[in-house]
Structure 1
Amino acid sequence: MNIVQLRNATLVIEVGPYRVLVDPMLARRHALPSLRWLDGQHQRNPIVELPVEADDCLATATHCLITHCRKGHFDHLDRAGVCWLRERQLPVICSPDDADYLQKRGLNVQPLQAGTKAQPFLGGQIRMVPCRHGRGAVGRLMMHGVGYLIEWPGEPSLYLAGDTILTDEVRALVSTQQPDISVVPAGGARFDLGGEIIMGIAEVTQFSRLARGIVIANHLEALNHCPVRRDELIHAMRCVGVSDRVRIPADGERIVVPG
């Protein structure tokens, strides 16, 4: 299995004959609105271009997997991503909650069934894991989406956390299932008001202490409401002694995970 980090939450899972594109935000730099306005943070998004590796990587995609996309979550599926998927009619796997939204945009939607039980997925199985996209008043306004636990025969188990803070459900999953690989949002995203709506340094640290497998941190240095930098996250992981298991890839980097 290979995992290619493209930008923010957008990545490609390469396993067997499949190339699964996750949460495609494909817009050019500064083509999307700002997500913060105060304290000089009002630059438009994304704040970086896609890496040069993106074109070749996208050209091989066979399927798309969406964690969430409604209520303005362009950082997981933007207009450019919708157009790209519609032109190619790639199968788009999503939660039942997102199916109507995506079908109305002309995509080839293959929704999962409701619930958290394992379901067939590209020769393996997948199960949805609840997300919690923030706490308090901000959290009540957010569309929370799902994460996914994916298992293929002969391959490492993979947990895509989606946009979530570190909840009791996430703690329970990583403690009991111990995925071989976990991809977690680490940017500490927050709006002008309210607290973090995804994991930041403290919660990624806690998650990485619970997990025995490889932890891949993304959602970094691509959006103006994600203040966590790669260098400070690397430093934090070294300080707590988990840097040997935590990967913090650059955009365009391919992580090779032995089967």
Structure 2
Amino acid sequence: MNITQIRNATQIISYAGKRFLIDPMLSPKGAWPGFPGTAHADRRNPMVDLPFGVDKIVDVDAVIVTHTHEDHWDQAAIDLIGKDKPVFVQNDSDAALLRSQGFTRVTIMTDDLTFGDIRISKTHGGQHGTDRAYAVPALAELLGEACGVVLRHPDEKTLAIVGDTVWRKAVADELQAIQPDVVVLNTGYAHVIGFGPIIMGQEDVLNVHFLLPEATIVATHMEAVNHCLLTRRALRDYVDANQISDKVAIPLDGETVHL
């Protein structure tokens, strides 16, 4: 297995002979406005360029879309990914959206499906914001659902992509049950003004390490969209101070982590 960080939550994961593109955000730098009502909304997104050409990024066997917020599934991805590419999504609503966009091989992830001889499972414990945020109906609708994904194969380590969620008991319980060897965490600590974080931050990296001390954590979703407050440098300082740097990879855009 290896994981190539592209930008934000976009990664290419090579796993058991297949290449998966995760949550593609493929727009050029500054293509669309910052998310209104969030931290640093005056900054345009994406905040950085792609590390290499789109042709290389879309040369994959399948795409996994954990949810359809613009920083995980943007218009450029819709335009540039082949419409006959297998795409895995979380629910009926996202499947209907992608089919309306012309994609012909859309599959809704379940608790256990297969792609070749790779088992793909959807997780259910995540929540894309705090309970306080979800208590506001309009904000709850905007934040919506966001799943995680688990990949398994007899010849590979078990990989859990936790997705856009805050740290909560349901996430911990799922990770405890899965016992993954590798955990991809979205750790940019994105904030909605007045409601706080909608994804994990540095303390949550430590939470996952305490829960799964033997697992390798790969930190992503940083320094690419306006509302993310945690930087790679700050996270590196934090994991160094907590003496867990041997268990946490913080790849730069374009860098590959070999596992």
TM-score, length of structure 1 as denominator length? 0.90
Per-residue deviation at 1:16? 3.7
Among candidates 125, 130, 133, match of residue 138 of structure 1: 133
Is the partner of 1:183 in helix, strand or coil? Answer: strand
Determine if the alignment matches structure 1 residue 27 to structure 2 residue 36: no
Supply the distance in 2 between the matched residues of 1:24 and 1:161 (Cα, whole angstroms): 16
Per-residue deviation at 1:19? 1.0
Q: Is the 8 A contact 1:35 1:191 kept in 2?
A: no
Q: Which of 101-110 and 227-236 deviates more?
A: 101-110
Supply the distance in 2 between the matched residues of 1:113 and 1:234 (Cα, whole angstroms): 33
Determine if the alignment matches structure 1 residue 250 to structure 2 residue 246: no
* CA-to-aligned-CA distance 1:217-251 (integer Å, 9 cap, x gap): 00000011001010110111112221111000000
**1:129: which partner in 2?**
123
**2:64: which partner in 1?**
65
Q: Is the 8 A contact 1:150 1:159 kept in 2?
A: yes
Q: Which of 136-145 and 28-37 deviates more?
A: 136-145
**1:13: which partner in 2?**
13
Per-residue deviation at 1:173? 2.2
Supply the distance in 2 between the matched residues of 1:18 and 1:39 (Cα, whole angstroms): 37
Q: Is the 8 A contact 1:209 1:242 kept in 2?
A: no
Q: Which of 30-39 and 152-161 deviates more?
A: 30-39
* CA-to-aligned-CA distance 1:95-116 (integer Å, 9 cap, x gap): 23311011000013332355xx
Supply the distance in 2 between the matched residues of 1:135 and 1:44 (Cα, whole angstroms): 25
Among candidates 95, 107, 118, match of residue 90 of structure 2: 95
**CA 92–248 in structure 1, closer or farther in 2 if over 3 Å, else same:** same
1:168-207 paired onto structure 2 within 5 Å: 168-207=169-208
Per-residue deviation at 1:17? 3.3
**1:150 aligned partner, one-letter code:** L
Runs of 4+ in structure 1 over 4 Å off: 36-41
Supply the distance in 2 between the matched residues of 1:207 and 1:218 (Cα, whole angstroms): 14
Paired residues, what number?
250
Determine if the alignment matches structure 1 residue 83 to structure 2 residue 53: no
Q: Is the 8 A contact 2:4 2:254 kept in 1?
A: yes
Q: Which of 89-98 and 5-14 deviates more?
A: 89-98
Q: Is the 8 A contact 2:83 2:102 kept in 1?
A: no
Q: Is the 8 A contact 1:3 1:255 kept in 2?
A: yes
Q: Which of 246-255 and 11-20 deviates more?
A: 11-20
**2:21 aligned partner, one-letter code:** L
Q: Is the 8 A contact 2:9 2:220 kept in 1?
A: yes
Supply the distance in 2 between the matched residues of 1:200 and 1:148 (Cα, whole angstroms): 19
Q: Is the 8 A contact 2:84 2:103 kept in 1?
A: yes
Give ranges in structure 1 of 5+ residues lacking alignment. none
Q: Is the 8 A contact 1:36 1:224 kept in 2?
A: no
**CA 51–127 in structure 1, closer or farther in 2 if over 3 Å, else same:** same
**2:2 aligned partner, one-letter code:** N
Q: Is the 8 A contact 2:34 2:42 kept in 1?
A: yes
Is the partner of 2:14 in helix, strand or coil? Answer: strand
Among candidates 211, 235, 238, match of residue 236 of structure 1: 238
* CA-to-aligned-CA distance 1:168-210 (integer Å, 9 cap, x gap): 1211122232211110110000122211000011222211221
* CA-to-aligned-CA distance 1:41-71 (integer Å, 9 cap, x gap): 511111001112x4463253111111001xx
**CA 40–195 in structure 1, closer or farther in 2 if over 3 Å, else same:** closer
**1:160: which partner in 2?**
161
Give ranges in structure 2 of 5+ residues lacking alignment. 135-139
Q: Is the 8 A contact 1:12 1:57 kept in 2?
A: no
Supply the distance in 1 between the matched residues of 2:256 and 2:172 (Cα, whole angstroms): 27
Is the partner of 1:244 in helix, strand or coil? Answer: helix
Q: Which of 15-24 and 55-64 deviates more?
A: 55-64
